[in-house]
Structure 1
Amino acid sequence: MAIIAIATTKLTFAQSKTDVAFNQLLTAYYDVKNALATDKKDTATEKAKVLLTKVDAIPHKDLPAAQHALWIEQAKIIKAKASELAVAKDIKLQRKSFESLSSAMIKTIRTIGFNNATVYVQHCPMAKASWLNEKENIENPYYGSMMFDCGDISETIKPK
Structure 2
Amino acid sequence: MKKIMIMVALIAIATTKLTFAQSKTGAAFNQLLMAYFDVKNALATDKKDIATEKAKALSVKVDAIPHQDLPAAQHMLWMEQAKIIKLKATELAAGKDIKSQRKSFEGLSSAMIKTVRNIKFNNATVYVQHCPMARASWLNEKENVENPYYGSMMFDCGDVTETIKSK
Task: Output the TM-score relative to the length of structure 2.
Answer: 0.95
Question: Which of 90, 97, 109 matches 1:102?
Answer: 109
**Which one-letter code corresponds to 2:162 in the other structure?**
E
Following the alignment from structure 1 to structure 2, what is the Cα–Cα distance between the partners of residues 107 and 139? 20
**Within 2, Cα distance between the matches of 1:105 and 1:2?**
39
Q: Which runs of 5+ in 1 are unaligned?
A: none
Match of 1:21 among 12, 28, 38: 28
Offset, 1:99: 0.2
RMSD: 0.3
Q: Show the 5 A alignment for 1:9-158.
A: 9-158=16-165
- Number of aligned pairs? 160
Larger Rg: 2
Q: Secondary structure at the match of 1:98?
A: helix
The residue aligned with 1:4 is: 11
Gaps of 5+ in 2: 1-7
Normalised to the residue count of structure 1, the TM-score between the two structures is 0.99
Q: CA deviation at 1:80?
A: 0.2
Whole-Å Cα distance in 2 between the matches of residues 16 and 156 of structure 1?
Answer: 22
2-side partners of 1:10 and 1:155: how far apart?
33
Instruction: Please report how far the alpha carbon of residue 96 of structure 1 lies from its aligned counterpart in structure 2 after TM superposition.
Output: 0.3
- Residues 62-105 of structure 1: per-residue CA shift (max 9 Å, x gap): 00000000000000000000000001100000000000000000
Instruction: Give, as a single letter, the amino acid of the residue that structure 2 aligns with 1:157.
Output: I
Matches of 1:5 and 1:110 in 2, distance apart?
30
